[in-house]
Amino acid sequence: MSSQTGQILAVCTGNTCRSPLAEYLLRQYLRAQPGWTVTSAGVMAGNGQSASEGSITVLAERKIDASAHRSRQLTREMVAEADYVLVMTQGHRDRIVAEWPELADKVHCITSFGVTGESEDIADPIGQSVNVYRYTRDQIDAAIADFLSHLANTGKISSSP
């Protein structure tokens, strides 16, 4: 299969917990796929905040350094430039589609790429224990595996990492 290039945008609420987890995990998996870029943003983010301590900790357990992460407020331009906008909840998808209905076809719940096509919200771990962050990371990681299989099956990456 031929590999292509593309942009993936991970989106959550504040861009400090779930979407940074998705962004940095995706970057790690796609590092061998030239031409793919991964960023993140939040539907209610303040600009310039660090990733949460919990997200930084559980990514470090996977030898991923997210200390440079800074939050960004989602904009129409970000959604328009992305090939895939991966949101953490149906509420995030509904909000983006309501604001920019012409971009709806690129907005997907991150958990919707499994065999059933059903999506499940990924709860916000903000303020919770590191174990909750681990659970959230692992939920996102499993969803990413399904998403990467989708990319491989549609010829957009050379193979699922």
pLDDT in tens, 30-59: 998 889 999 999 999 999 999 999 999 999
Domains of the chain with CATH codes = 6-153 (3.40.50.2300)
Say which of 17, 18, 27, 93 is annotated catalytic: 18
Identify whether the C-beta of residue 73 lies closer than 8 Å to the C-beta of residue 47.
yes
Identify whether the C-beta of residue 5 lies closer than 8 Å to the C-beta of residue 151.
no
pLDDT at 2: 44
pTM reported for the whole predicted model: 0.95
Residue 87 has pLDDT above 70, yes or no: yes
Say which of 93, 109, 124, 137 is annotated catalytic: 124
Residue range 109-128: average pLDDT? 94
Residue 132 has pLDDT above 90, yes or no: yes
Under the banding of pLDDT at 50, 70 and 90, the label for residue 3 is: low
pLDDT at 117: 84
Q: Hey, what are 24's tokens? A: 């940095």
**Active-site annotation holds for 124:** yes
Of residues 83, 65, 72, 51, the one with CA closest to residue 147: 83
Give the mean pLDDT of the chain: 94
